[in-house]
Structure 1
């Protein structure tokens, strides 16, 4: 689209006296953004806003989006931690945006789901894409401790209670869970747990898509991840989603 515009934003973070750096993608930058829907795209641990599939998705997604570096990552300053409340507040107060969908990879998935469960704004979103999200947090801390890392972020993150999704995840939000079958960082079984936790809600649906020979970062499979998300998003907007296994690409259309 000829009018698409990419703008680098620097969002002040009062608690840490730093800035969060991100990219705002707008399909119609000349039009008012008051009340306009937007997608949040969140990276994982040790990643950044243009890591893996994040930028590719943002440039193809059929709505405005914002992707940013979590505090202490890449271009964002401060101590490493999660910053969704600050980002959502800025997008709402400065532009009038309303969060419609959250797309997260790994840690970004867990942060996004937790925000949807605990914030008032999150309860009004329509969708969530959970890519390689971890459920069993105790395994996360054990894995990093075994490598000799004792970073504060890892310790704090491992204390998050992912079980909150069973009772607090909004019932109307549609969820796509994607996971690689050779993921050595987060076991594929974590995706099965999320499928069980989120698959019994109504009217929200849950679709599980497992990719053969794909690792945690979907190495050399980035376009496949984006294609799957866009096909699922199209089905959501056409009212064709039903809870179950998602089959895309050569395996048949959704």
Structure 2
């Protein structure tokens, strides 16, 4: 396997989107080959929790390349201004990343695996943007009921003793991301805007033919496990059998070391919904496109 850091330019931003392209068989070409996108959540980074283990298992067991990148302003290498409601920028960046992998490297996006905030932007992208067919999506710890964030104990300082919201109050959210101490300001306006994000598009615009796996931990104190059951109810109304649910007993929002779950759940689901095509080897899943002899493009690091 090989890992290459990519810096993807984005119009309107002075700094690139930074990510790691992990290749299962770097000696082979990429044109027409499947690639997996791995997207993290809020105030996290591309190598957070289970992401590296997941990329390794996808390469070893499926022969698939993957690309995991840092969302802007979340503490990784993609620089930008942090904001609770910078979801529009995240969605545009996802669109740019997909176009770059398709046009510059010749990949076809076969699977998107996204965590929490990453799940939100992915589901919206799949529902509302035209794109080549992406057959598989994994929704990890995804949030559906946005209003629950208004009662999140992390933002209790925004409320008065009467449980009213103080519109002038702020909360400095202090976290450690990729070894860096960060302090990000949460305001009432930002929290309210986030809570008003409308997920109704899932009912009428989410594609009928994408196979979806929802994975959620029962001990998730950030996004309650009830949201996973809501996703299951909504997405099961599409084509029969296109949504699967994996509930992980005792798992928190970011799961638990050594992070065998949710990785095991994802690989088990893939073996069922996307078995490798015969005669093409480990990387033959998703249609069994034969390797191209064309070399990948050269990129500046």
- Relative to the length of structure 2, the TM-score reads 0.73
Equivalent residues in 2 for 1:1-254 (5 A)?
4-61=1-58, 62=62, 63-73=64-74, 74-80=76-82, 81=86, 82=90, 83-121=93-131, 124-143=133-152, 145-147=155-157, 148=171, 149-150=186-187, 157-202=194-239, 205-220=242-257, 222-238=259-275
Gaps of 5+ in 2: 158-170, 172-185, 277-301
What SS class does the counterpart of residue 18 from structure 1 fall into? coil
What SS class does the counterpart of residue 220 from structure 1 fall into? coil
Which entry has the higher C-alpha Rg, 1 or 2? Answer: 2
- The 2-side partners of 1:8 and 1:50 are apart by 12
Deviation at 1:139, TM superposition (A): 2.1
**8 Å Cα contact 1:172-1:203 kept in structure 2:** no
- The 1-side partners of 2:192 and 2:30 are apart by 38
**8 Å Cα contact 2:39-2:118 kept in structure 1:** yes
- The 2-side partners of 1:169 and 1:94 are apart by 27
Q: State the Cα RMSD in Å.
A: 2.0
**8 Å Cα contact 2:248-2:261 kept in structure 1:** no
Structure with bigger RCO (C-alpha 8 Å, 6+ apart): 2
**8 Å Cα contact 1:175-1:204 kept in structure 2:** no
Which has the larger share of helix? 1
**8 Å Cα contact 2:20-2:69 kept in structure 1:** yes
Residues matched between the structures, number: 235
Give the stretch that moved more between structures: 147-156 or 64-73.
147-156
What SS class does the counterpart of residue 95 from structure 1 fall into? coil
